[in-house]
Amino acid sequence: MRLVGPNGEQVGIVRVEDALRLAAEADLDLVEVAPMAKPPVAKLMDFGKYKYEAAMKAREARKNQVNTIIKEIKLRPKIDAHDYGTKKGHVVRFLSAGDKVKVTIMFRGREQSRPELGFRLLQRLAEDVAELGFVESSPKQDGRNMVMVLGPTKKKSEARAQQRRMKDEAAQAEAVEAQTPQTETTEVEAAEVEAAEVETPQVETEQVQADQVEQAPASESTSQA
For the chain, 225 residues long, give each residue's pLDDT as a single digit of tens. 899 988 888 888 989 898 899 889 889 999 988 888 888 999 999 988 889 999 998 888 777 665 667 899 999 998 999 999 999 999 999 998 888 999 999 998 888 888 999 999 999 999 999 999 999 999 998 888 999 999 998 876 676 677 677 777 887 788 777 776 554 445 545 555 455 554 444 444 444 454 554 454 444 444 443
Q: Does the model's pTM come out above 0.75?
A: no
Give the DSSP letter of residue 111: G
- What strands, in cross-sheet order, belong to the sheet with 145-152? 70-75, 100-106, 145-152, 133-142
Res 100: pLDDT: 92
The angle subtended at Cα 58 by Cα 54 and Cα 62, nearest 5°, is 170
Cα separation of 7 and 28, whole Å?
12
Res 195: pLDDT: 53
Res 112: pLDDT: 86
Respond yes or no on whether the N-terminal peptide bond of residue 39 is cis (omega within 30° of 0): yes
Res 76: pLDDT: 92
Res 219: pLDDT: 42
Res 157: pLDDT: 65
Give the DSSP letter of residue 33: E
Do the Cβ atoms of 71 and 42 come closer than 8 Å? no
Q: What's the gap between Cα 170 and its chain centre? A: 11
Res 190: pLDDT: 53
DSSP 73-95: EEE-TT--HHHHHHHHHHHHHHH
